[in-house]
């Protein structure tokens, strides 16, 4: 069912700093405190150099740049996610978080050099999750996944944080037991890594949907163009989005993935190429979300209530306890 609400609540105009000019009509109205749950920012290279292992040279994309797009679309809250180019140096995301902590949260990457005192300071700023990348280097078995995920979960459990996991669908399905055992909420990045070549009936996709039906797992409806293998027909993501919404209506959030980095593989460090960005219109991504949500109540859940719980934003209107808290 396409979300078609009365003009008093669902008609407006939108623009997009990336590729929209503000002239098209929306199919929706953003509810108050709508949240974009997946955003990266990049600072000046002299202040925020990339990590030695980086696969691209960061190119500045500031919080102000993001706000131009977000304000046009009516997005008020955001979640900053540490990009891989910065490794465990979270200063750029934390600086942006500090600039607007009331309506911003962050997900960081930590290493052995990150102390508990560091974690406490991040929590005070508004960090509510830690990101684990199982793709680079790629994890191939359950035992290796446990070695990465269990220590991370143990470190952040006392803070009520979640574990955000980046991996493809096949890999996530193969480590499903680990994801249910870590003892903290788990957020599956970018639609749990599904791609257009995957079938809904495939065993790995069904395993992921079963995983989502359990109280511990969440999913981000982000990266529709990634699901589409970077083609323009992002509608191919719709069947997966509908299935994920049906499996976990209370544990789904939406993210733009701004500024839409091109995925590089190859040279690293000083030999890495400069960052490039995919031509994605965030208004199209929201139109796709409108097309898959069953009603306005689900729309508000995805954009307000669910992220309010997961990221512990103030004044959660649903009255539900924040994820990871009791």
Give the pLDDT confidence of 76-129 residue by residue, as tens digits.
999 999 999 999 999 999 999 999 889 999 999 999 999 999 999 999 999 999
Does 57 map to a domain? yes
User: Containing domain of residue 211, as a range?
Assistant: 7-310
| Omega before 249 within 30 of 0, i.e. cis | no
pLDDT, one tens digit per residue, over 180-191 is 999 999 999 999
The Cα–Cα gap between 206 and 212 comes to: 10
What confidence score (pLDDT) does residue 13 get? 30
What confidence score (pLDDT) does residue 135 get? 84
Does 325 map to a domain? no
pLDDT, one tens digit per residue, over 147-165 is 999 999 999 999 999 999 9
What confidence score (pLDDT) does residue 14 get? 33
Return the CATH number at 216.
Answer: 3.20.20.140
| Residues 271, 3 contacting (CB under 8 angstroms) | no
What confidence score (pLDDT) does residue 10 get? 28
Domain count, the chain: 1
Does 47 map to a domain? yes
What confidence score (pLDDT) does residue 21 get? 40
Does 321 map to a domain? no
Q: Which residues in the chain come in under a pLDDT of 70?
A: 1-27, 315-326
Distances (CA, A) of 163 to 142, 187, 217: 17, 6, 10
Does 223 map to a domain? yes
H-type alpha helices, 164-202: 169-174, 176-181
What confidence score (pLDDT) does residue 324 get? 61
What confidence score (pLDDT) does residue 26 get? 64
């Amino acid at each position: 069912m396409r979300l078609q609400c009365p003009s008093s609540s669902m008609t407006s105009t939108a623009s997009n700093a990336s590729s929209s000019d503000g002239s098209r009509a929306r199919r929706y109205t953003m509810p108050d405190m709508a949240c974009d749950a997946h955003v990266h920012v990049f600072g000046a290279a002299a202040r925020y150099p990339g990590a030695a292992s980086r696969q691209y040279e960061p190119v500045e994309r500031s919080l102000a740049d993001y706000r131009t797009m977000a304000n046009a679309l009516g997005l008020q809250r955001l979640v900053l996610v540490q990009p891989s180019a910065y490794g465990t140096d979270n200063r750029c995301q934390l600086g942006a978080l500090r600039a607007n902590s009331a309506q911003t949260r962050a997900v960081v990457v930590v290493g052995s050099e990150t102390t508990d005192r560091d974690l406490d300071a991040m929590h005070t700023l508004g960090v509510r999750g830690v990101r684990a990348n199982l793709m680079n280097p790629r994890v191939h078995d359950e035992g290796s996944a446990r070695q990465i995920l269990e220590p991370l979960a143990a470190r952040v459990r006392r803070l009520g944080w979640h574990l955000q996991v980046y991996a493809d669908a096949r890999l996530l399905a193969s480590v499903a037991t680990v994801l249910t055992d870590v003892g903290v909420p788990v957020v599956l990045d970018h639609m749990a890594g599904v791609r257009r070549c995957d079938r809904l009936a495939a065993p790995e996709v069904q395993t992921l949907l079963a995983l989502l039906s359990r109280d511990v797992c969440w999913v981000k409806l982000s990266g529709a163009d990634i699901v589409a293998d970077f083609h323009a027909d992002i509608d191919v993501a719709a069947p997966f989005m509908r299935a994920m919404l049906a499996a976990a209506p209370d544990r789904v959030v939406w993210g733009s993935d701004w500024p839409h980095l091109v995925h590089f593989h190859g040279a690293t460090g000083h030999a890495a190429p400069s960052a490039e960005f995919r031509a994605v219109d965030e208004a199209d991504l929201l139109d796709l979300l409108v097309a898959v949500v069953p009603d306005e109540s689900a729309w508000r859940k995805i954009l307000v209530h669910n992220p309010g719980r997961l990221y512990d934003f103030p004044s959660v209107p649903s009255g539900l306890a924040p994820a990871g808290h009791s």
